[in-house]
Amino acid sequence: MESLGEMRTKEFVRYIETLSKNASDRIVAGFEDSQKEIMERYLVDTWDLIKHNESVIGLENLLNNIYEVDFKIDKKAIELAKAAIQEWGMDYEKWKFIEKLTQ
């Protein structure tokens, strides 16, 4: 049976997938690919970690990665991320930087 942390993480990742459909086709500085292509890879990697019972690592990586490529998110994404972070017993203060990504 899935833990609440896993469920919250999956909710966040699914929502980021929805948002990423509108990702930019611009090439990201320091990368050879567009933001859209990069986000697709990040999401595949995240789902792979979740599949292998590494939901916390997947969540942490995705949060860091979307910040790295300046992927814009909304307040709902922040709330979903916050719920997952707190469910895993992580300190939201360490992840608050994602609030800078709101549109």
DSSP secondary structure string, 4-67? HHHHHHHHHHHHHHHHHTT---SBPTTSSSBHHHHHHHHHHHHHHHHHTT-HHHHHHHHHHHHH
> What are φ and ψ of residue 73, in 5° steps?
-125, 175
* DSSP conformation class of 72: -
The model's pLDDT over 41-94, given as tens digits with 9 standing for 90+, comes to 999 999 999 999 999 999 999 999 999 999 999 999 999 999 999 999 999 999
Note the pTM of the prediction, 2 decimals.
Answer: 0.95
Q: Which helix (H) or strand (E) holds 8?
A: helix 4-20
pLDDT in tens, 19-38: 999 998 989 989 999 999 99
Cα separation, 92 vs 17, in Å, equals 22
- The residue among 18, 44, 24 whose CA lies nearest residue 36 is 24
> 13 vs 18, 27, 40, 77, CA distance in Å?
9, 23, 11, 9
